[in-house]
Amino acid sequence: MIEVRFHGRGGQGAKIASRILGRSGFLSGLYAQDFALFGAERRGAPLASFTRLGREPIDQRGYVETPGLAVVMDDSLLKEAPEQVFHGVFAHTPLFVNADPDQLAARTKELPPASYIFIDLSAIARELIGSAFVSAAAAAVAARSIPAIELQALSEAVKIEIAEFGLPADIIEKNQAAARRAYAQAPIVPVSPNSTAMEILETAWQAVPYLGSAQFAGPTIRHRGSAALRETGNWRTERPVIDLAKCKRCFLCYLYCPEAAMTLDSENFPHVDYDHCKGCLICFEECPTDAISRRLEA
């Protein structure tokens, strides 16, 4: 069995990538399973999705703990969600990163060990699809290293999955082209099967002792203001930008902001806390003087 893990942000298509790869295996006569893991996340939040392929019925479910191959569809996750990206990744684990190959040496110097392959999936998507939608390309680089998957099956899988997503025929064809390009560009890497064979540990059952303290009885957080420690600014796909020259200081943006990410200065002008603004753009919608504009994140 081969286990593949995709890392992306909500809205980037990690789930579709895992489905394209799963469908590719299915169409190639393999046993296949795909699964996306997200709960309370929204667009922009880090998430992971998984594909399992094998010649025998698949007897695993849930999170892929030690992937045979992983694809990081958003390179900012290397720094921002390392506990997810590098979970169960070893020096020999192929880790495809959607980034400029020229930056490989400079950017991996201080990262945990992995067998890094930088490949600019976004450039492929921009050129062939005209958007940053990298699902097809991400699935293709993984498929390239799985001999049982034929290019034809991959292409058909892209068609089915993108169609299921409700996109029109021309977009489907563009995604197929992106998949073929990524398939052609990707190197073939050794994918270790059975990499999930979990380390056999001696079962260490431990009864949870009764702590006896009322302080820890329920899920109560006493540390005040701890939400500020969690930076959610990287969830944004777009950011609000305030033109203070047009601002009438009506406070509506300040009042409507659901994340308390709008602050007022000593003269009552609003400022965005970009470390925590999630980019919902309610302020943009509410501003009566159009002093707030929206700008795509780089």
Partner 1 sequence: MTRTMLTGNAAAAWGARLAEVDYVPAFPITPQTEILETLAGWSQLGEIPARVMMMDSEHSMLAAAVGAAATGVRVFTATSSQGFLYGFEMLYAIAGLRLPLVLVNVSRALAHPITLEPDHNDVLSARDTGFLQFHAETSQEVLDSILMAYRFAEHEKILLPAIVNLDGFYLSFTREAVEVPAPEETRNFLPAFRPAYPLLSNREPVAMGAAVLDPSLYSYFKHQMHNAAENVLTIYPKIAGEFAETFGRRYGIIEEFRLDDADYVIVMTNSFASMGKAEIKRLRQKGKKIGLARLRLIRPFPHEELQRVLRGRKGVAVVDQNISVGKGGILFSEIASALYPLADRPPVLLSFIGGLGGRRFRPGEFDGMLAKMENPTESAAETVRPHLLFTGEECRQVGRFFTIAREEEPSRET
Q: Which residues bind partner 1 (CB under 8 A)?
A: 39-40, 207-222, 224
Q: What minimum distance in Å lies between the beta carbon of 243 and partner 1? A: 35
CB closer to partner 1, 201 vs 214: 214
- Supply the minimum distance, in Å, between the C-beta of residue 208 and partner 1: 4
CB of 256 to partner 1, least distance (A): 22
**Sequence-separated (6 or more) residues with CB below 8 Å from residue 293:** 240, 241, 243, 284
Q: How far is the CB of 93 from partner 1 (least distance, A)?
A: 24
Question: For residues 118 and 101, what is the distance between their CA atoms, to the nearest angstrom?
Answer: 5
Least separation in angstroms between residue 229's CB and partner 1 is: 13
Structure-derived torsion over alpha carbons of residues 280, 85, 184, 27, reported in degrees to the nearest 10: -90
Residue 200: Cβ within 10 Å count: 6
In the complex with partner 1, the residue whose CB is nearer, 61 or 224, is 224
8 A C-beta contact, residue 83 and residue 58 = no
CB of 122 to partner 1, least distance (A): 30
Cβ-based nearer residue to partner 1, 208 or 298: 208
Toward partner 1, which CB reaches closer, 41 or 273?
Answer: 41
CB atoms within 10 A of CB 105: 10
Distance of closest approach, residue 226 Cβ to partner 1, in angstroms: 8
* Angle (CA) 149 153 154, round 5°: 80
For residue 282, the surrounding DSSP H or E stretch is helix 282-286
Q: For 16-37, b where at least 16 C-beta lie within 10 A, e where not — what string? A: bbbbbbbbbbbbbebebbbbbb
Beta 94-98 vs 69-72: how paired, if at all?
parallel
Considering the complex, state which of residue 91 and residue 207 has its C-beta at the smaller distance from partner 1. Answer: 207
What's the min distance (Å) between Cβ of 166 and partner 1? Answer: 29
How close are the terminal C-alpha atoms of the chain, in Å?
Answer: 38
Closest to partner 1 by CB, 109 or 223:
223
**Of residues 166 and 225, the one with the C-beta less far from partner 1:** 225
Question: What is the DSSP track for 102-156?
Answer: GGHHHHHTTSPP-EEEEE-HHHHHHHHTSSS--HHHHHHHHHHT-TT--HHHHHH
Cα(68)–Cα(46) distance, integer angstroms: 20
Minimum CB distance to partner 1 smaller for 109 or for 222: 222
